[in-house]
Amino acid sequence: MKKIIITGGAGFIGSHVVRRFVTQHPEYHIINLDKLTYAGNLANLKDIEGAPNYEFVKGDIVDAAFIDQLFADKQPDAVIHLAAESHVDRSITNPTEFVMTNVIGTVNLLNAARNLWKGRYDSTRFYHVSTDEVYGTLGEDGMFTEETAYDPHSPYSASKASSDHFVRAYQDTYGMDTVISNCSNNYGSYHFPEKLIPLAIHNIKQMKSIPVYGKGENVRDWLWVEDHARAIELIFHKAKSGATYNIGGHNEWKNIDLIQLLCSILDKKLGRAEGTSAGLITYVTDRAGHDLRYAIDATKLKTELGWVPSITFEEGLEKTVDWYLANQEWLDDVTSGHYQQYYSEQYADR
């Protein structure tokens, strides 16, 4: 059976990727490697934790000795690497942590893979899951393609750009089989409520203010997380060695328009008078170095591999809001930090 290590599988996107591989591919043995930082939560995978082809390993990708030993013990055939520090605001306060996990952690995984796979790169694969933020910012027009030059601005995007370069360097220098995808902003279930959409839903539910950075005119291109997971599955299986794909939903929204839409959806669902939740919108100091606009041209993925998003933004947002309304316990746990205490006790000896 093919063994795949998926890193960061207890996080937002990683949990959807792990679920997809575990449920759709009984022929694989999936090892979810995750440090369980504030963003990692095994409750995200409760529905598949007993699956026979699934295993969880708690560990830090920054710890090179641990990673080398893990590869020697588990003998994986492939890595799908999602573990990262992922929040731009946190990267502004603590850039070093982003260098450690996103750059050093990625290089540690590449080294372990290289040691294990030397001489059999044709039957192994290292897939790096990256972001469109490596391309920097757009003005009013244009879109990021796979040819757009890297021009990261935040410490987060600089660390992801750096790790992308290392992945390509291992392909070019050692002949390792690697693939990279750069995706736009994701939304959906199990999204940690520090990011815009879940934070807005959470605050609206609680009648708390919704912080809008600057004038709310920055534009993001939103993709439903399950469509991202499906794209990763497709690229993992079909991409040529060394390929890069952009993934996005052709779905650009100004932050303020998106927040207004969420307010209106939640007013209806919560039985509030139209306009009640919009009263919570509060303009706050802009994020330092705030990228104006991201937009992905996903033509290559569509023409070469046939991928298109499976649902509209309206459908995805509706599903997402419904999920947050139905999962108050999950929200309470992640906002209280309770889940970390529970799972760190359970996995203390690993």
Annotated catalytic residues are 132-133, 156
Rule CB under 6 A: which residues touch ligand NAD?
Answer: 7-8, 10-14, 34-37, 39-40, 60-62, 82-86, 101, 105, 129-131, 160, 183, 185-186, 192
Which CB sits closer to ligand NAD, 183 or 212?
A: 183
- Bridge partners for 211 per DSSP: 282
Least CB distance to ligand NAD at residue 77 (A): 20
CB 116 within 8 A of CB 176: no
* Segment 224 to 263, residues that bind ligand TYD, using CB under 6 A: 255
Strands 78-81, 125-131: pairing is parallel
Q: Are 106 and 163 in contact (CB under 8 A)?
A: yes
Phi/psi at 13 (5° precision): -70, -40
Interatomic CA distance for residues 326 and 344, integer angstroms: 26
> Nearer Cβ to ligand NAD, position 37 or 203?
37
Closer to ligand NAD at the Cβ: 154 or 277? 154
* Phi, psi dihedral angles at 238 (to 5 degrees): -110, -20
Least distance CB 270 / ligand NAD (angstroms): 26
User: Using CB distances below 5 to 8 A depending on partner kind, what does residue 213 bind out of ligand NAD, ligand TYD, none?
Assistant: ligand TYD
Q: Which of the choices ligand TYD, ligand NAD, none does residue 12 contact, using the CB cut-off of 5 to 8 A by kind?
A: ligand NAD
Residue indicated by tokens 């933020």: 133
Task: List the interface residues with ligand TYD, window 173-202 (CB under 6 A).
Answer: 185, 195-196, 199
State in Å, rounded, how far the first CA of the chain is from the last one: 24
Q: Which residue, 292 or 326, is less far from ligand TYD as judged by CB?
A: 292
Round to whole Å and give the CA distance between 320 and 318: 5
The partner residues of 213 in beta bridges, in order of sequence, read 284
Residues lying near ligand TYD in the complex (CB under 6 A) are found at 88, 185, 195-196, 199, 211-213, 218, 220, 255, 287
